[in-house]
Structure 1
Amino acid sequence: MRVYEWDGVPTPIVDADDYILIALGGFPDNGKGDWDEEVAIPAAEAMQKAAITMYSEPKWRRKHMSSKSGKPTPRRGAHASKSAGASMGGGQTHPQNLSLSVRNAAILASLFALEPFRRIAGFTNMVFYAFAQQLHEFYRTEFDKVCAHDPSILRNLPSRLSVFSTATFNFGPATVTFPHIDFRNLAWGWCAITALGNFDPDRGGHLVLWDLKLVIRFPPGSTILIPSAFLRHSNVNIAPHETRFFVYTIHPGGAFPMDIDTSKTTTPQEREQRRKDRERRWAQGIKMYTKWDGPSRTL
């Protein structure tokens, strides 16, 4: 495994043909100090307050859910999380709003309304557009179609701030994910991960991209975009006294009109045609990646 001591400066990671595969978004140009004070620290504090409200403090602070409670550990890791927005999967036959209790929906809505989270979303949106303009526009136009077709679909944020349909708040308190892929994400799509909390990024919290044999330093307050449906990823543990949260935004493949398939039975001919359609969509999808022609940084 190679370790990249990323300093938070916006950096593309390109493939063998110089197409941008990963966007290390970092921080806005106005400086990490201002971003920490005005955005990253208040956002982490708001997430902690929301978590304690939803779970109660003793329950939220437990680190290992499966060994002590007897419940199975979630696939991505033993940490508290809640998702909001439009999605499709798990038995849904069409894109629809994720189900939340009235109380939890109100708590998550209050987070989206806070200036720090709106600034994180806006910065993430800008990084996405800068490094993958065609893919960004595909997300925007396709989700616009979904919302126009079904007015009951609720956006987490205005489209000018975010083109992603779904957001997950990983409340930790020590968010450490297991190696996984996000099979509900669009096959060639990007997801955005913003790390928050009080932890030492030199000692833990690194993003691990297993297929690339790459470990990336991931400082709190910074954002990284990756194709999470085909790159297996996780993150390094942090110290017992530290906290780590992250906000994770995606657009599930099923929430794109072209990927919707609600039939329960198919003929062999239909299955073969769908296989060919998937291959065609994949070939079209990876053409949305941007070829990098600027200066590169050696990893």
Structure 2
Amino acid sequence: TPTPVIDADHNVLLLLGGFPPNEAAWEPDVTNKAAEAMEEAAKEIYTGPKWRRKAGLDDPVPCRGSHHAKHVGVAMGGGQRYPQNLAHAARNVVIFAGLFGLKSLERIAGWTNMLFMAFAPDLHEYYRAMYAALCDWDQLQQRAKHIRRNFSERHSVFTTATFNFGPVTVTLPHIDFGNLAWGWCAVTALGNFNPDRGGHLVLWDLKLAIRFPPGSTILLPSAILRHSNLQVGPNEQRFSFTQFTPAGIFRWVYNDFRTDKDINAAKSTTPAEREQRKQDRASRWQEGIRMYRKWDGPYGGFNTHAPVLTTLYLHTTLYLH
């Protein structure tokens, strides 16, 4: 059962989405097949002559862990003039296309999208509208390459995904500074491991370790909560699939498809417009928080069958001392 975690103001801060209830085929048809596909993809990407790897793009992400990881989708930052799909070696592009074409991964994305829409509808709409506006702008540009979605709009509103190929994915404590401050990212655990003994999601600021079984999904504000995950046992495997949208893309769309640098340098920008932008920046956090949905009452406002928060503490999490 999806279980929200609320803050002191009764905002749904993060969501323990789990997997669809009464879905007996979820493990064999979704969890196992997605994990098997990621394992095979990792063998194709990370074995063979070094010339098959494009320098820099195939390196692990040091600040998050020593496991293999790949970011796929739209990015903005690092001096880019406009959002565009991340570059990969042609061989890897084919591999990623195969992964995103899998029914199992599409079902994970669809389940995640439904959770996002149900428990944070205003925030979900903010993501959806931004991505739609970006794609509309992109189609008007006179360029050979256009933005490519990882999934259809019906299945996901996130622009970017990360395949944590493992084979033992253990992330170090970190904050995703590049993500939208109040936004959510979605993490789906995959692999073959005992979730009672390892693989827990650790939220250091909240002093929580959350049981995180294979095939389940958690949505959280990864830009403000320091998080990591625990080691799994010997001879066990853990992969994960993460979906998110970089904050730079939101900023680009907010700027009428321009960078901050372009706006500040533009002679057409009036003092009144500069002052308005300054005020917008000052109020942006509060406006973002208002996109969270309130949780009404201890037994749930969205779903009267949702478990109370004390049940979450007793059965799903352990306090860290």
Which SS does the other structure have where 1:29 is aligned? coil
Greater alpha carbon shift after TM alignment, 158-167 vs 275-284? 275-284
Q: Which amino acid aligns with 2:94?
A: A
Are 1:258 and 2:250 counterparts?
no
Are 1:20 and 2:12 counterparts?
yes
Q: Which amino acid aligns with 1:226?
A: L
The alignment of Structure 1 onto Structure 2 pairs a total of residues equal to: 278
The 8 Å contact of residues 83 and 167 in structure 1, kept in 2 or not, is answered as: yes
Match of 1:95 in 2: 83
Q: Which amino acid aligns with 1:285?
A: G
Are 1:49 and 2:40 counterparts?
yes
User: By how many angstroms is 1:91 displaced?
Assistant: 2.0
Which SS does the other structure have where 1:244 is aligned? strand
User: By how many angstroms is 1:279 displaced?
Assistant: 2.5
Match of 1:6 in 2: none
Are 1:122 and 2:107 counterparts?
no
Which SS does the other structure have where 1:41 is aligned? helix
Decide whether aligned partners of structure 1 residues 72 and 102 sit closer, same or farther in structure 2, where only a CA change above 3 A counts.
closer
Decide whether aligned partners of structure 1 residues 265 and 137 sit closer, same or farther in structure 2, where only a CA change above 3 A counts.
closer
Q: Which amino acid aligns with 1:280?
A: S
User: By how many angstroms is 1:271 displaced?
Assistant: 9.2
CA distance in 2, matches of 1:163, 1:130: 14
Which SS does the other structure have where 2:131 is aligned? helix
Match of 1:66 in 2: none
Match of 2:142 in 1: none
Match of 1:203 in 2: 197
CA distance in 2, matches of 1:72, 1:200: 25
Match of 1:67 in 2: none
CA distance in 2, matches of 1:204, 1:264: 48
Decide whether aligned partners of structure 1 residues 149 and 242 sit closer, same or farther in structure 2, where only a CA change above 3 A counts.
same
Decide whether aligned partners of structure 1 residues 11 and 197 sit closer, same or farther in structure 2, where only a CA change above 3 A counts.
same
C-alpha deviations, 1:7-51, integer Å up to 9, x for none?
Answer: xx31000001111000110011233x4210110001000000000
1:160 equivalent among 141, 154, 160: 154
1:167-246 residue pairs with structure 2 within 5 A? 167-246=161-240
Q: Please, what TM-score do these two structures have when normalized by structure 2?
A: 0.81
User: By how many angstroms is 1:242 displaced?
Assistant: 0.8
C-alpha deviations, 1:94-138, integer Å up to 9, x for none?
Answer: 211111111111101100001000000000000011110000011
The 8 Å contact of residues 74 and 159 in structure 2, kept in 1 or not, is answered as: yes
Is there any run of 5+ residues in structure 2 with no aligned partner, and where?
51-58, 140-145, 266-270, 301-305, 314-321
Decide whether aligned partners of structure 1 residues 241 and 291 sit closer, same or farther in structure 2, where only a CA change above 3 A counts.
same
CA distance in 2, matches of 1:94, 1:265: 13
User: By how many angstroms is 1:281 displaced?
Assistant: 1.5
Match of 1:278 in 2: 281
Of structures 1 and 2, the one with the larger relative CO (CA 8 A, separation 6+) is 1
Match of 2:53 in 1: none
User: By how many angstroms is 1:93 displaced?
Assistant: 2.5
User: By how many angstroms is 1:238 displaced?
Assistant: 1.1
CA distance in 2, matches of 1:186, 1:272: 23
Is there any run of 5+ residues in structure 1 with no aligned partner, and where?
1-8, 60-70
Q: What is the aligned-residue RMSD (CA, Å)?
A: 2.3
The 8 Å contact of residues 61 and 69 in structure 2, kept in 1 or not, is answered as: no
User: By how many angstroms is 1:262 displaced?
Assistant: 3.8
CA distance in 2, matches of 1:112, 1:158: 10
CA distance in 1, matches of 2:263, 2:174: 29
CA distance in 2, matches of 1:72, 1:197: 19
Match of 1:85 in 2: 73
Decide whether aligned partners of structure 1 residues 138 and 195 sit closer, same or farther in structure 2, where only a CA change above 3 A counts.
same
CA distance in 2, matches of 1:113, 1:93: 30
CA distance in 2, matches of 1:111, 1:145: 26
The 8 Å contact of residues 93 and 262 in structure 1, kept in 2 or not, is answered as: no
CA distance in 2, matches of 1:121, 1:94: 26
CA distance in 1, matches of 2:135, 2:161: 16
C-alpha deviations, 1:232-284, integer Å up to 9, x for none?
Answer: 100111123111000000011111212663418969x9998765432211111
CA distance in 2, matches of 1:93, 1:208: 36
Which SS does the other structure have where 2:261 is aligned? coil
